[in-house]
């Protein structure tokens, strides 16, 4: 297996495709020559992006929320990946398109003291940010293993290795996603499928609610544009690196937290005090 994926020969399944990181990622992949299956919940946004990337694409949606044809350079599938029906729809389209890259980018935000988070919200965070990518990877893996070269890249977070006050549910999901990536990478070592994890820091998208923006400003959190994250993602696909965390001092904090987590607890007093009042 070579260092990374040759994008001009890639057939990519991209979840969360119309979102803040997803859309610039789709544009970069299309510009590199990759074929794309755009996956998300918003059919109108997916169709608009597909038309932008490939004006010749036929994207007439059907009752299943899918558009296009098997040979299309850019196609789309509007589904809920937290349902078995959604996962199966993507699996079938991925097989038809002979997909060799899966980018698990879809996710939802969560912020606040644990006591302020509703039970249904917590369940949805875990279902969307952890269970859905795990089950989608499981569903697509047999097809990926048939390709000479393939990759599964999970878009996680720095909060997948660095738990901050106010992000208990979100970190639980992203820590789980990192653990899943690590275990699957070792399970598939020596085969055609490379497993990768990208951990962005705060990204400048509509993903973050106003209270999160205030928290980040108070704590001095650094940020990256969605375009910068997309560029890092595409570079990681090309170079084949197993894990990549973005930003400084976040990369240093992630490394220290992995070595001496308890010793780092006191470093986040300002973050704890910046939380909304109970």
Residues recognised as catalytic: 170
DSSP 8-state code for residue 40: E
Packing angle of the helix pair 22-31, 226-239 (nearest 10 deg): 50
User: Distances from the Cα of 204 to the Cαs of 86, 120, 121, 207, in angstroms?
Assistant: 28, 27, 23, 8
Spatial separation of the C-alpha atoms in residues 12 and 74, rounded to whole Å: 10
Q: Cα(248)–Cα(228) distance, rounded to whole angstroms?
A: 14
Q: Give the chain's end-to-end CA distance (angstroms, integer).
A: 52
Record the tokens describing residue 36, joined without a space: 């794309």
């Amino acid at each position: 297996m070579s260092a990374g994926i040759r994008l001009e020969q890639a057939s990519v399944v991209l979840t969360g495709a119309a979102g803040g990181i997803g859309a610039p990622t789709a544009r970069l992949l299309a510009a590199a020559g990759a074929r794309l299956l755009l996956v998300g919940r918003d059919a109108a946004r997916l169709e608009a992006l597909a038309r932008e990337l490939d004006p010749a694409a036929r994207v007439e949606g059907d009752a299943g929320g899918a558009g296009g044809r098997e040979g299309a350079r850019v196609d789309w599938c509007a589904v809920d990946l937290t349902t078995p029906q959604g996962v199966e729809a993507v699996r079938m389209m991925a097989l038809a398109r002979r997909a060799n890259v899966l980018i698990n980018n879809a996710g939802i935000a969560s912020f606040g003291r644990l006591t302020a988070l509703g039970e249904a919200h917590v369940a949805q965070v875990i279902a969307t940010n952890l269970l859905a990518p795990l089950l989608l990877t499981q569903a697509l893996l047999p097809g990926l293993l048939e390709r000479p070269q393939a990759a599964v890249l999970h878009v996680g977070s720095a909060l997948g290795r660095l738990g901050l006050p106010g992000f208990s549910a979100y970190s639980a999901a992203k820590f789980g996603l990192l653990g899943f990536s690590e275990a699957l990478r070792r399970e598939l070592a020596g085969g055609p499928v490379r497993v990768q994890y990208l951990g962005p820091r705060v990204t400048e998208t509509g993903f973050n609610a106003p209270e999160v923006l205030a928290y980040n400003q108070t704590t001095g959190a650094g940020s990256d544009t969605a375009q910068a994250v997309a560029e890092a993602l595409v570079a990681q696909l090309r170079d084949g690196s197993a894990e990549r965390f973005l930003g400084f001092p976040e990369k240093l904090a992630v490394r220290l937290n992995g070595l001496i987590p308890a010793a780092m607890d006191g470093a986040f007093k300002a973050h704890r005090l910046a939380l909304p009042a109970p």
